[in-house]
Copies of this chain bind each other. A is one copy, B any other.
Amino acid sequence: MNKTPHVAVVGATGAVGIEMIRVLERRRFPVGKLTLLASARSAGKTLTYLGTPITVQELTPDSFRGIDIALFSAGGDISRQFAPAAAAAGCVVVDNSSAFRQDERVPLVIPEINAADVRKHQGIIANPNCTTAITLMALYPLHQAFGVTRVFASSYQAVSGTGAKAIEELSRQVKQIAAGEAATLEVYPYQIAFNVLPQVDSFLPDGYTKEEMKLQHEGRKIMHHPGFRASVTCVRVPVFRSHSVAVSAEFERPVTVAAARAVLAKAPGLEVVDDPATRRYPMPLFTSEKDDCEVGRMRMDCALENGLAFWVAGDQLLKGAALNAVQIAEELLRD
Contact = CB atoms under 8 A, between A and B. Distances in A.
A191 interface: yes
Interface of A: 150-152, 154, 156, 170-171, 174-175, 178, 189-191, 194-199, 203, 206-208, 213, 216, 229-231, 233, 235, 237-240, 244, 246, 248, 257, 276-277, 279, 281-285, 296-304, 307, 309, 311
A123 to B, nearest CB: 32
Query: A199, A235, A246: which has the most chain B beta carbons within 10 Å?
Result: A246
A284 B231 contact: no
A199 B279 contact: yes
A236 to B, nearest CB: 10
A159 to B, nearest CB: 9
Nearest to A170: B194
Contacts of A284: 194-196
Contacts of A238: 194, 237-239
A207 B300 contact: yes
Nearest to A238: B238
Contact of A231 (B194, B244, B304, B311): B304
Nearest to A178: B175
Contacts of A229: 302-303
A279 B189 contact: yes
Contacts of A151: 303
B231 A248 contact: yes
B178 A246 contact: no
Contacts of A303: 150-152, 229-231
A231 B152 CA distance: 10
Given A156-B237, A277-B203, A283-B190, A302 B198 contact: no
A293 B175 CA distance: 29
A299 B206 contact: yes
Given A246-B235, A303-B230, A207 B281 contact: no
